[in-house]
Amino acid sequence: MKRFGSLLLVAVFAGAITLISYKIFFEKTNYPVVSDNTEMPILTTSNRPASYKGNGINEVDFTIAAENTVNAVVHVKNLTLNSSPGSLLDFFYGSESRQIPQVGTGSGVIISPDGYIVTNNHVIAKANEIRITLNNNKTYEAEIIGSDPNTDIALLKIDVDENLPYLAFGDSDEAKIGQWVLAVGNPFNLTSTVTAGIVSAKARNLDPVRDQSFIQTDAAVNPGNSGGALVNTNGDLIGINTAITSQTGSYVGYSFAVPSNIAKKVVEDIMEYGNVQKGILGITSPRLSTPYAVNNGINEIDGVYIDGVEEDSGAFDANLKSGDIIKMVDNIKVRKFADLTGYVSTKRPGDRIKVTINRNGEDIVIPVELKERQSIIVPVMGLRVKNLSENDKKIFNTSVGVKITGVPETYRGYGLNGKVILEIDDEKVNNIYEAKNIFGAISRYDKTVITLVDKNGEKERIIFQ
């Protein structure tokens, strides 16, 4: 009997170790994939104002919003196969590697009755297989229609033979600080979980490098909630839950959602164009924490201080100038850079906006036509390059290439700034997006040959290690 008890104890202990090992090594959330699809459903937009029934929590009814939302929020499972050596001997002697499955989970929101689903890019990135489980436990394999890592939004599609419950997009610009909201998702694989909170802040930027504009709430959001719904008390979608700020990996009081107006625009772009059409204003503004901003009082300005204007941008054509202070875009009050980028992120190249600036103490309204981004920082080498203007093409006597407008410290001794890149490893470069893709594909460990031309028409080939 004692021997049987010992064997039972060993079996239980071994099972626990196996379960813990699976959780640690195989259940991970991974990261993008893009495919094309020509189906274009009409997305529903709600025009209902969020209901306010009083100041006390007992006077606000969350039940209808919760009931309408849980059936439109799905569980997303991402299966990724990663190669790994079978043993230390396999690793050192180069034997054939094994395919190890890794499982990531998150949430998604049905946005049309025929099965289109919006989620976070980081929930489905690098997926070999994506499975969607509805609130009624039906499971489907999903196709990735497209994704945008910059906004962390992805669009999925499942084939269904019935109309599904879905959420209408609300107007996130109308969300007010202090407004009640619900976060709906699948934290820790607990399906159909609803938490309540308020909008704590708007236009929140979490990344000093990327321009972001999140809705911040105090509704509890945990791992697995990513890609789920943030809704108002009507049950209208005003955000896609995306991130938390935490030192433990779990909720500690702050959660962040991509505003619905940005998510809707990204989804519509993917459906119509296959990628995201981003219109930019074309201005730069100093970070408020920099010594320059502090010493010049820019961090105390109520608005966005224009530090520079990009050539060939909408701001350049509209004659916006360094020193102007942007106070408003259309009817949106601008107090910080994230307010500006959050609104402009909902626009496309060719859209016109009215920009209210303060110039020398006088408020002026200037119409600006947004343009496609003309400059970008390429991966690996970190060069800033811009598309050639018609004037550039005449000066450099070329119809192809990208002009270098910024060089990191590592490469400043090569005299690159102001020259035009014609080819990278004998591959012609026509625009900044081709440059980004080609630089992104080169290895950090191999030699790269860049062909350049200067204003005198002299070509040179530089080899970089």
> Could you list the active site residues?
122, 152, 226
How far apart are alpha carbons 249 and 315 in whole angstroms?
41
How far apart are alpha carbons 326 and 309 in whole angstroms?
13
How far from each other are the two terminal CA atoms of the chain, in whole angstroms? Answer: 69
Residues 6 or more apart whose Cβ sits within 8 Å of residue 446: none
Per DSSP, the three-state class of 381 is coil
| Helix ranges restricted to H, 172-221 | none
Q: Does the CA dihedral 169-172-176-180 come out positive or negative? A: positive
Per DSSP, the three-state class of 392 is helix
Environment class of 320 (CB within 10 Å of its CB; exposed 0-12, middle 13-18, buried 19+): buried
**169: DSSP letter:** B
How far apart are alpha carbons 19 and 328 in whole angstroms?
55
| Helix ranges restricted to H, 259-389 | 260-273, 291-295, 314-317, 337-344
